[in-house]
Chains A and B, each alone.
Chain A
Amino acid sequence: MAEIKLTDLTKSYGSTEVLHHVEGDINDGEFIVIVGPSGCGKSTLLRMVAGLETVTSGEIRIGDRRVNELEPSARDIAMVFQNYALYPHMSVRENMAYGLKIRKLSKAEINKRVEEAAEILEIGQYLDRKPRQLSGGQRQRVAMGRAIVRDPQVFLFDEPLSNLDAKLRVQMRLEIRKLQQRLGVTSIYVTHDQVEAMTLGDRLMVLNGGYVEQFGTPIELYDRPASVFVAGFLGSPAMNFIPAIVEADGVGFARRHKTGRRTGASG
């Protein structure tokens, strides 16, 4: 279990800066969702925490350690990828055991952890299958299982549900939430889907163009959006905007909507 501290994080590829001065404290056991439109830098941020991308400037701390210079495997994290990244030539069991084997855990211990995780995720009967013999939902579970067996301090999810059909996505979303609450592991979850974000996260970090627009609970974001972007991005159906001018004698409508449609608030 650990808290995560992001301090003045910046990421550049060559001369283009894609993340600008990101700040954020994540509490122990919290479920944080990073949400924002595609290309805004969510994955980059997550991968920096994982150690898959270098940090250009700033600091990442997990627990009481600065991890900037640590290899991914030394950061005590586990990650679930969008395409699951299961090793296609290994059985489900081998996939889950691989990281533990490298860490030289005993055979008995590895077996125990794999069986436990398989039971939690209800994939016990598939342990000897290869990934290609599984459905999308089952593969997703295996990817989760691979994260669980490591018993890490932090779970990282990069759009783990976006390859599933809509119905399964809703079901898995609930399961992930329950699982995280049960295990109490600090988690960062990346998605571009604001409904997913609002229903999953303890707190949401809204990213836009590499800037943190707002970092807060779903209710805070919904009731008191810090920017037009946040207000427009969250909520379903979307919030309506009415151009207005603030004047000394109060607020007045600047002009009617171009098409002449009704412009009153409705959502």
Chain B
Amino acid sequence: MVEDRPLTSILTHFVLILGVIAIALPIWITFVAATHDELRMNQVPLPLWPGTHLLDNLTQTLFGAGLSGSQGAPVWLMLLNSLAMAMMISFGKIAISLLSAFAIVYFRFPFRMTCFWMIFITLMLPVEVRILPTFEVVANLGMLNSYWGLSIPLIASATATFMFRQVFLTVPDEMLESARIDGAGPMRFFFDILLPLSRTNIAALFVILFIFGWTQSFWPLLITTDTSMTTIVMSIKQMLEAAEQSPQWNIIMTTALLARIPPIFVVISMQKLFVQGLTETDK
């Protein structure tokens, strides 16, 4: 910075640390809740410092009975369901967006612009505004309570398609000409040249989409009734309801901890890709 007076510098760090504390507080408090036993978690005031029961809580949550009195699926299964859903959504979105961007950029064909506008329209139709009829479609296709139902309706993406379109437009034309002279057909060009050239964009998008997929709760809540299809994120909602009868906050918050570890891990460990992905897709 321009000037570096100690006082301003101290103030700057002070405000930032305050901000970090404010932002991290909810995460901290719920982490602390996951480290105490049930008894302690029913005494006011609740603890602000970690206890010693994290491992107990983890084993009970992951492999034990979980929340007492609940008929839910074991938490490890919910984690697997979440992982499956997040992966299917990310890979699905990336795959179909890559393919349609490739078609739109590298081919000239009748109804090309119609396709463009149809893809664009998806932006204007968030799932929240067409809940009921979309639910009906999924039900009629027999996709309730399945991984397909969880992921496929969410994988159309104008944002991702337009991002790849832009990436492809920056690939020099000579790359294609050169490949054509080398005898590469369209799909060969796509796999040998275009995919490797877009791999950081793909990785960045993957980070964002993984989080998008993992954090879905509304859609899974609607279309899964079978407890074996429960995802970890939607189970939190069910546990909150159960908490009104038996407030086992240590277990609920341990589940919450497990539910947020994977996406937070992804964000922190792939921060550069995350920021790139976020600014490229704004989603």
Contacts and interface: CB of A to CB of B under 8 A. Distances in A.
A interacts with B:
yes
Interface of A: 47, 50-52, 71-74, 77-79, 81-85, 87-89, 98-99, 102-103
Given A83-B172, A83-B174, A102-B188, A88 B180 contact: no
25 contacts: A47-B177, A50-B177, A51-B180, A52-B177, A71-B183, A72-B177, A73-B181, A73-B183, A78-B181, A79-B181, A81-B174, A81-B178, A83-B172, A84-B174, A85-B174, A85-B175, A87-B178, A87-B179, A89-B193, A89-B196, A89-B197, A98-B182, A98-B192, A99-B183, A102-B184
Contacts of A72: 177, 180-181
Contact of A103 (B174, B183, B192): B183
A87 B179 CA distance: 9
Given A50-B177, A72-B181, A85-B178, 4 more contacts: A51-B180, A52-B181, A89-B193, A89-B196
Chain B interface size band reads 10 to 19
Nearest to B182: A99
A267 B188 CA distance: 56
A81 B178 CA distance: 8
Contacts, number: 56
Given A98-B182, A102-B188, A85 B177 contact: yes
A146 to B, nearest CB: 8
A88 B196 CA distance: 9
Interface of B: 172, 174-175, 177-184, 188, 192-193, 196-197
A77 B196 contact: no
A72 to B, nearest CB: 5
B180 A52 contact: yes
Given A87-B193, A89-B197, A102 B182 contact: yes
Contacts of A81: 174, 177-178
B178 A79 contact: yes
Contacts of B192: 98
Contacts of B184: 73, 98, 102
Nearest to A87: B193
Contacts of A79: 177-178, 181
Contacts of B188: 102
B32 to A, nearest CB: 47
A154 B267 CA distance: 53
Nearest to B199: A89
A13 to B, nearest CB: 14
Nearest to A152: B181
Nearest to B197: A89
A160 to B, nearest CB: 12
Contacts of B193: 87, 89
